[in-house]
Structure 1
Amino acid sequence: MNRKWLLIPLIVFAVLLGGCGFKDIDKRFFAVSIGVDKGEKKRYRVSVELAIPSGDPKQPGDSIVFTEEADSIAAAIGIIKANADKELDFGHMNVIIIGKDLAKENLFTTVDWFSRRRDIQEIAWVSISASKAKDILEYHPKGEYIPSNNLLLLFGNEGTETPYVISEYLFSFWRDLAEPGIDPVLPIIKYIKGENTLEVQTSGVIRNKHLALVLNKDETMLLNLFIKQKVKSELNVTSKKYNFTIASSKAKVKYKMNTSGSAPIIDIFVSLKGNLEEKHREHQNVNLHVYEKITNQHYKKKFEKLLTKLQKEKVDPVGFGMRYEATHLGDEKVKISEWKRLYPQAKFNVHVTTKIDGTGIIK
């Protein structure tokens, strides 16, 4: 008798589950990546890459890209749903690509849809396409068994580790867009049609919710070292007599702000550690202390040049403004206005300390 009563909740649960809109896995398309471009006739041109499951686990997975234009992302997704014969599932979508032309406009309204959807993960990667986002979605390298897995491995550092990729989560990007004391940075993906490959070596700084500045690969590497504390990188050093490369194994950047004077003074302390990986001139003597001194001077100039460029363009990807607001009392709007006045006058003092452990296996 007791067992019969236990079956009642199970029967009720099964009835409710059948009527709550749950779809079987064979009646769903899994969206793995989405690209948003500026539309030709409408405001947005939305492209969604849908994974097609394969019955054979040894065969690479296939995918299809649906594209529609509409005045809102939600409307474009609705049209794509009408064209697909299965329900769209965004629970596995990990890559968001925004076209460069659209990135120059208000990104807050573009990202708004992604941040409000319950079925889109907040840990999805956000990036910018150098041309059309759809071109990136349609690219599939040889050996890719899961659609969009190459981008996922690249941004997540689970595959290759490179200092030229500044990865950014959706939740972090959305937060920095709303925070007045810091400007977010997104990686820029470039599709090289002639070579049929992707290149991610540059980055874009977002100011006032739109793409304001594009950094080259050397500037991206330095900024990545600054804000993400990237460790594995190759430090190329060139001077009149020396030309060599250091494989960095440890990197650390700290800074202190002094705003007591008329102009802020920002002292930046950079610590580098690694091994001499390659020297490009045969007659160079391997004196590690000399190499360390030259590296200090070389990267002191490079960091100062980068910070001066960011200051001139009135962008703050490091977050100096956020530090100023956190360490000063008063109304938030007043502090923001005051920092905007002080930032162009700030002086940067960069101190670089390099420690070279050895010269590799060569004795």
Structure 2
Amino acid sequence: MRFSVYQFRRSIFITIIALSLVLQFGCGFKDIDKRIFVLSIGIDHSDNDEKPYKITLKLAVPSGSIKETGAKYTYLTKESESIASAVRLLKSHVDKELDFGHAKVIVFGEEILNHDMNEVIDFFVRRRDIQKISWVAVGNPSAESVLKTEPSSEKAGSHALFNFFDENGVESAYIVSTYLFDFQRRLSEKGYDPILPVFNSSEDKKKIVVNSSSLLANKKEPLNLSPEETKLYNVMANNVEKLNLTIKRDDLLFTVSIDSSKTKFKLDTAAKQKPVLKMDVTMKGVMEEANQPMNPKKLSTYSHYASKEVEKQLTELLTMLQENDADPIGFGLRYQASKLHTEKTYKEWRQIYPELSFDVHVKVSIMSTGIVE
């Protein structure tokens, strides 16, 4: 009798599980031919105050044959009072379900940066089908123009914007990579300002250049960093490798190819002393180009020239960030983490930062003058 009851309960349990699986697949699953994939999303500010958001979606058009070459995309654009309502309206513009699972790039127009960015990204951090590891960037002159730019090197089934960030394509010290989750964290974190790469599209929409960045600090106007400033930021914040240093000393001009770079910093805020930021940077590389014959016996001299030049450039950048009350490296966050947590910790840092002096020490080791035969 006990055995039969056990078998009955087991059969009921298996039946319930099977029915639940059937119901789940029947309601939530759509065949791939019923979906169209969103590759990137653009958000611009429209001229309509009632509908301030202009949303652009770049969609991949599936090809019927693997022999077909060339990228095929279509675009959807809509203005609305919110991002969510614009997306809902855009669903009625295509005959397939919009799939955001492959949307790995979110581009903001320059004008949208003057808005409350926490409100702008709220849609993206709430939706479960948008990856939190999506890259975020700024589009110049607009996000729509960047998304509609199709470089000739872009192949079918790929997206050129992805290659700028995933390190499987281009590797450049001038590119800043910022994830959606990190951007959200920096917006709410005290003492760690967000920084975004800037996409510059050409007028003929055949070329995209990414070698500068935009810094958002304390709800002020965005601070634009030049390519050289962006490179130096990457040295301090990301220990970037594969960069070039151009050194000029009197009539001597040479370029060093850096293969490895490492940065450490320490805040010295002892009582009754002027606060000091001590930063140590070590680099190793080889000579890549020179306007004069280079003597291998003078490598230490060339290294000294390079070290002093980088020290000067880093100090100037740190001073510029301080004058603009910007902190994209996270000095304020480090200060708060190294002190006993109180409500006044961040207030103390706000008083210390304007008085902070910079003690930058750079050691560049040039290993050889290159291969010259």
- TM-score by length of structure 1 reads 0.94
Give the aligned partner of residue 206 of structure 1: 216
Separation in structure 2 between the aligned mates of residue 150 and residue 326 of structure 1, nearest angstrom: 39
Secondary structure of 2:257's aligned partner = strand
- 1:247 Cα deviation from its structure 2 partner: 0.5
- 1:262 Cα deviation from its structure 2 partner: 4.3
Give the aligned partner of residue 27 of structure 1: 34
Secondary structure of 1:207's aligned partner = coil
Give the aligned partner of residue 257 of structure 1: 267
Query: What are the superposed Cα offsets for residues 307-334 of structure 1, whole Å, 9 maximum, x if unpaired?
Result: 00000000001100001000111414x1
1:282-297 matches, within 5 Å, as 282=292, 285-286=295-296, 287-297=298-308
Alignment match of 2:318 (pick from 304, 307, 314): 307
User: One-letter code of the match for 2:31?
Assistant: D
Does the CA contact (< 8 Å) of 1:95 and 1:126 recur in 2? yes
Separation in structure 1 between the aligned mates of residue 301 and residue 257 of structure 2, nearest angstrom: 17
Does the CA contact (< 8 Å) of 2:276 and 2:356 recur in 1? yes
Separation in structure 2 between the aligned mates of residue 259 and residue 181 of structure 1, nearest angstrom: 16
Alignment match of 2:284 (pick from 252, 259, 273): 273
Aligned residues: 359
Does the CA contact (< 8 Å) of 1:53 and 1:61 recur in 2? no
Alignment match of 1:50 (pick from 28, 47, 59): 59
Does the CA contact (< 8 Å) of 1:137 and 1:148 recur in 2? no
Give the aligned partner of residue 183 of structure 1: 193
Separation in structure 1 between the aligned mates of residue 326 and residue 236 of structure 2, nearest angstrom: 15
User: One-letter code of the match for 1:12?
Assistant: L
C-alpha spacing 1:293/1:131, structure 2 compared with 1 (3 Å): same
- 1:17 Cα deviation from its structure 2 partner: 3.2
Alignment match of 2:118 (pick from 93, 104, 108): 108
- 1:236 Cα deviation from its structure 2 partner: 1.1
1:160-199 matches, within 5 Å, as 160-193=170-203, 196-199=206-209
Give the aligned partner of residue 237 of structure 1: 247
Q: Does 1:121 align with 2:128?
A: no
C-alpha spacing 1:241/1:143, structure 2 compared with 1 (3 Å): closer
C-alpha spacing 1:20/1:298, structure 2 compared with 1 (3 Å): same
Secondary structure of 2:274's aligned partner = coil
Does the CA contact (< 8 Å) of 1:248 and 1:275 recur in 2? yes
Separation in structure 1 between the aligned mates of residue 239 and residue 191 of structure 2, nearest angstrom: 20
C-alpha spacing 1:350/1:93, structure 2 compared with 1 (3 Å): same
Does the CA contact (< 8 Å) of 2:148 and 2:205 recur in 1? no
Separation in structure 1 between the aligned mates of residue 227 and residue 250 of structure 2, nearest angstrom: 23
Structure 1: tracts of 5 or more residues without a match: none
C-alpha spacing 1:303/1:104, structure 2 compared with 1 (3 Å): same
Does the CA contact (< 8 Å) of 1:33 and 1:96 recur in 2? yes
C-alpha spacing 1:338/1:10, structure 2 compared with 1 (3 Å): closer
C-alpha spacing 1:211/1:130, structure 2 compared with 1 (3 Å): farther
Give the aligned partner of residue 3 of structure 2: none
C-alpha spacing 1:284/1:276, structure 2 compared with 1 (3 Å): closer
Separation in structure 1 between the aligned mates of residue 262 and residue 16 of structure 2, nearest angstrom: 58
Give the aligned partner of residue 318 of structure 1: 329
Give the aligned partner of residue 220 of structure 1: 230
- 1:62 Cα deviation from its structure 2 partner: 1.4
Does the CA contact (< 8 Å) of 1:36 and 1:45 recur in 2? yes
User: One-letter code of the match for 1:354?
Assistant: V
Separation in structure 2 between the aligned mates of residue 195 and residue 50 of structure 1, nearest angstrom: 17
User: One-letter code of the match for 2:284?
Assistant: K
Q: Does 1:142 align with 2:152?
A: yes
C-alpha spacing 1:275/1:14, structure 2 compared with 1 (3 Å): same
User: One-letter code of the match for 1:35?
Assistant: G
User: One-letter code of the match for 1:190?
Assistant: N
Separation in structure 2 between the aligned mates of residue 221 and residue 328 of structure 1, nearest angstrom: 31
Alignment match of 2:81 (pick from 61, 71, 81): 71
C-alpha spacing 1:262/1:210, structure 2 compared with 1 (3 Å): same
Does the CA contact (< 8 Å) of 1:177 and 1:209 recur in 2? no
Separation in structure 2 between the aligned mates of residue 352 and residue 15 of structure 1, nearest angstrom: 64
Give the aligned partner of residue 142 of structure 2: 132
Secondary structure of 2:241's aligned partner = coil
- TM-score by length of structure 2 reads 0.91
Query: What are the superposed Cα offsets for residues 19-61 of structure 1, whole Å, 9 maximum, x if unpaired?
Result: 4232211111111100000012121000011111112123244
